[in-house]
Amino acid sequence: MTAPTLEIHLTDADLTEALRADARRGLTSDPKTLPPKWFYDARGSELFEEITRLPEYYPTRTERALLERVVGEIARIARAEVLVELGAGSAAKTRLLLSALSSAGPLKTYVPQDVSESALRGAADQVSVEFPGLAVHGVVSDFTDTLHNLPRGGRRMIAFLGGTIGNLIPAERAEFLAGVAAVLEPGEQLLLGAGLVIDPAVLVPAYDDAAGITAEFNRNVLHVLNSRLRADFDPDAFRHIALWDAEHEWIEMRLEATRDMTVAVPDLDITVEFARGEQMRTEISAKFRPQGLTAELDAAGFDTEHIWTDPDDRFALILAAR
Ligand code: AVJ
């Protein structure tokens, strides 16, 4: 086994700088917003892992069961020598893909990418132990602006699983898909996992669980602002909200101030006023219709080769070629 390498395109200082810009923009706009990528410090990544095990949170286990069922088919259509996984996190589902791709084809290299160095290090180490024949090159970066840092040489498949594409607003999504298309050579592939539009009675509890883990995950963004920007948010004074926006077909998570508050953010030289009842958007998680997904992929320059869905039509895996 060769030890995994880790390339860091996003230092801790870069992260703080990006958070400052996002927080300044989001906290001074009306209504206030914060981008979802700031949930994922070490504690946030752990809380998300806990979410994936909740009875209400169906996406992870649905995607995994679907992947288990169709991974052989994917491996037959795939031509990848290099598997690049965006937002790899703990890379839990990747093992399925790696074993199918390496037994069926020419896979030589695995490139997991994530913003969380801690999650990535663990994943890269584990994969190297389990797949001794595979070269593992981890990349710590932001998936939306570091596609150009991905290694070249060897036919690539970019996997973007878990439904994280849904965290992008439609304009960002179009830009992201076009960006992926732009870095791929003709014939290279994208494997996309996306949550489908389903009954809100199933959808909403997935984002508002009875044990309150998603609420903690949501409030964690305030802990991140406190520790990185020396803000003095009282996270417990914010209430977790998850609602289904039927017009946009997305879940929206918000934090609602339960009292009037003045929050100091010394590292931005601002104070931020919250009125009791004021809501701040912290995440959208868009759900899709299969035809909508293929249309968006087509617009970005992809050909959809295959689309698989689970028996309850809750989740889709799409293989598209450049
Ligand atoms: C990790 C982005 C796929 O949108 O379902 C889980 C994040 N947010 N519960 C999602 C999340 C609230 C999750 N993704």
**Starting from the edge strand earliest in sequence, which strands make up the sheet with 82-85, in order?**
5-8, 135-140, 109-114, 82-85, 156-160, 189-195, 315-321, 303-309
Q: Which helix (H) or strand (E) holds 272?
A: strand 270-274
pTM of the model: 0.94
Q: What mean pLDDT do residues 151-161 have?
A: 88
pLDDT classification of 1: cutoffs 50, 70, 90: low
Query: Residues 150, 156: contact at Cβ < 8 Å?
Result: yes
Q: What mean pLDDT do residues 9-24 have?
A: 93
Q: For residues 87 and 319, what is the distance between their CA atoms, to the nearest angstrom?
A: 17
**Whether residue 35 has its Cβ less than 6 Å from ligand 1:** no
pLDDT classification of 309: cutoffs 50, 70, 90: very high
**Whether residue 90 has its Cβ less than 6 Å from ligand 1:** no
In this prediction the ipTM stands at 0.99
**Whether residue 114 has its Cβ less than 6 Å from ligand 1:** no
Residue 285 C-alpha to ligand 1 middle, in angstroms? 7
CA-to-CA dists, residue 20 to 9, 26, 300, angstroms: 18, 10, 31
- The amino acid occupying position 10 is L
**Whether residue 162 has its Cβ less than 6 Å from ligand 1:** yes
pLDDT tens digits along 43-71: 998 999 999 999 999 999 999 999 999 99
Q: 243, 283, 287, 288: which to mutate for ligand 1, most atoms within 8 A of CB?
A: 283
Instruction: Please list, in sequence order, all residues whose beta carbon lies within 8 angstroms of the beta carbon of residue 270, skipping any fewer than 6 positions away.
Output: 24, 27, 28, 264
pLDDT tens digits along 132-142: 999 999 998 88
Residue 57 C-alpha to ligand 1 middle, in angstroms? 9
